Amino acid sequence: MKLNDYKEEIYKCSGCGQCQGVCPVYEALKKECAVSRGKFKLLNAILNNDAKYSKKVLEYMDLCLHCNKCSLFCPSGINAQKIIETAQFDMLKNGIKNQKKLFPARILANKKLMKFAKIFIDIIRNFKILEMINLFNCPNNKLSRYFLKIKVKPQAEKKPSAKTIKALYFKGCINNYVNPSNQNAIKNILQNTPAEIIEADFNCCGLPLKSAGDFECFKEIARENIKTALEKDFDYLIFDCASCKSTFLSYAEYIDGKEKEKAEELTPKIISIYELLDIINYKPALKCDKIAVHYPCHADIKEKSAIKKLLSDCNIVETEDTCCGAAGSFLFDNNKISKEISSKKAESIIRSDANCVVTTCPSCILGLKQGLIKQKSDIEVCQLIELLN
């Protein structure tokens, strides 16, 4: 993959400016370099040898939440995310890199290191060594405190029930290493249903690597995860994070040959936990008054419709369908912009008079929390699966 492959697609940009109206980064910065139209102008100049790749160009490409909003509204149907990632990849090959983004992405993709990090996080949490959070150099202590203070609910005892559906569970990095509450919630909910959970030693989904343009490492991770999945016998591959699910769905686009065929074989089995609950006709005993739902940018229509069914007995309040501003490492790399985007989202939640807000992505939890903290609101934020539990 190289930028030149997208020359024709970049030329299709008519400069209509529709992307400006939907880009959260443009809304916060009011700078043309933030929106896809501006990025394409720059990349056009590079393709025509009127400009060269540089640290500044990478900085502009990195000003992106990979929320895909611009592509959804682009009348020319340009896949901005893929183009931005490919430009980042080209620059990486030429030695122009953003270590602040690459370093954590590569750590997340290192299972051994992550298992060690889990022990470290458990020690901090269990022994309440919160003073140590300064070691993390996090830009927002209240946020890191939130993660370290999470009370991990234990898993309920297993009761035997007839199982007819095998659900292979992809836990994702946050659920696997930082907050096991989600996986316990899934296990609790499914234990009296026909669905049986199957576990496997997956790696990170690879999204942080993909959005840093590190395609080589991303492809390696994709191949490893596909192999891990296909070693098991299962009906569905389930996800409790919309971003991990969409990343798995993208694997076939990035790899070739037999492995691409294997990725395509997996695709129809990839669903969210909420779609699985819909398939097994799960009816939650849940009646919430004034609940706001934040759909992650990566949540697809099937996931959204399953969530709406699960919450059909609740009073859902309307909020603006905008990005939470987190987007993984964007929250740390561009904290000022991220906070502004999160804060706008929080304003809309506060205006809705919601009692709580639910979402289906651990990174969105951080974005929503960040915004509500900035707005000095104590509206609760939680993962939908934990609320169902």
Pick between residue 183 and residue 211 the one whose CB is nearest to ligand SF4: 211
Pick between residue 63 and residue 167 the one whose CB is nearest to ligand SF4: 63
Could you list the residues that contact ligand SF4 (CB under 6 A)? 13-19, 22-25, 35-37, 40, 64-70, 74-76, 78, 80-81
Least distance between ligand SF4 and beta carbon 13 (Å): 3
C-alpha span between 300 and 283 (Å, rounded): 21
**Cα–Cα distances in Å, from 213 out to 49, 98, 208?**
21, 10, 9
Least distance between ligand SF4 and beta carbon 9 (Å): 10
Pick between residue 276 and residue 337 the one whose CB is nearest to ligand SF4: 337
Least distance between ligand SF4 and beta carbon 56 (Å): 17
C-alpha span between 49 and 198 (Å, rounded): 52
Q: Which residues contact 378 (CB under 8 A, 6 or more apart)?
A: 372
Tokens, residue 373: 């903290």
Residue type, 349: I
Instruction: Identify whether the C-beta of residue 223 lies closer than 8 Å to the C-beta of residue 259.
Output: yes
Pick between residue 42 and residue 276 the one whose CB is nearest to ligand SF4: 42
Least distance between ligand SF4 and beta carbon 36 (Å): 4
Pick between residue 274 and residue 332 the one whose CB is nearest to ligand SF4: 332
Least distance between ligand SF4 and beta carbon 100 (Å): 18
> Quick one: three-class SS letters along 176-196?
HHHCCHHHHHHHHHHCCCCEE
Pick between residue 81 and residue 389 the one whose CB is nearest to ligand SF4: 81
Least distance between ligand SF4 and beta carbon 330 (Å): 9
Give the CA-trace dihedral at 135, 364, 368, 57, to 10 degrees: 70
C-alpha span between 292 and 380 (Å, rounded): 10
